[in-house]
Copies of this chain bind each other. A is one copy, B any other.
Amino acid sequence: MATITIVEDDSFMREELTDILLKAGYNVIAISDFQDVVTPIVANPPDLVLLDINLPGLSGFDICRSLKSKGIRPILILTSRDKLQDELHGLQLGADDYLTKPCNRDRLLARIQNLLRRFEGQPDLLEGSNFTLDPNTFTLYKGDQSLLLSANEGKILKALVQHKSEMVSKSTLSEHLWGTNQYIDENALQVNITRLRKTLRKLDLDDQIETIRGQGYRLRG
A residues with CB within 8 A of B:
45, 53, 59, 61-62, 65-66, 68-73, 86, 89-90, 92-94, 120-127, 132, 134, 137, 139, 141-146
| Contact residue among B61, B69, B132 (Cβ-Cβ distance under 8 Å from A123) | B69
Nearest chain B CB to A79's CB is how many angstroms away? 10
Copies of chain A in the complex: 2
- On whether the beta carbons of A132 and B69 are closer than 8 Å, the reply is yes
17 A-B contact pairs sorted by A residue (CB < 8 Å)? A45-B121, A53-B144, A59-B143, A61-B143, A61-B144, A62-B132, A62-B141, A65-B127, A65-B132, A69-B125, A69-B127, A70-B123, A71-B120, A89-B146, A93-B134, A93-B139, A137-B137
- Given the complex, which residues of B lie within 8 Å of A73, measured CB to CB? 121-122
- Given the complex, which residues of B lie within 8 Å of A59, measured CB to CB? 143-144
- Given the complex, which residues of B lie within 8 Å of A70, measured CB to CB? 121, 123
Nearest chain B CB to A57's CB is how many angstroms away? 12
- On whether the beta carbons of B127 and A66 are closer than 8 Å, the reply is yes
- Given the complex, which residues of B lie within 8 Å of A137, measured CB to CB? 137
Nearest chain B CB to A110's CB is how many angstroms away? 20
CA distance A139 to B145 in the complex (A): 24
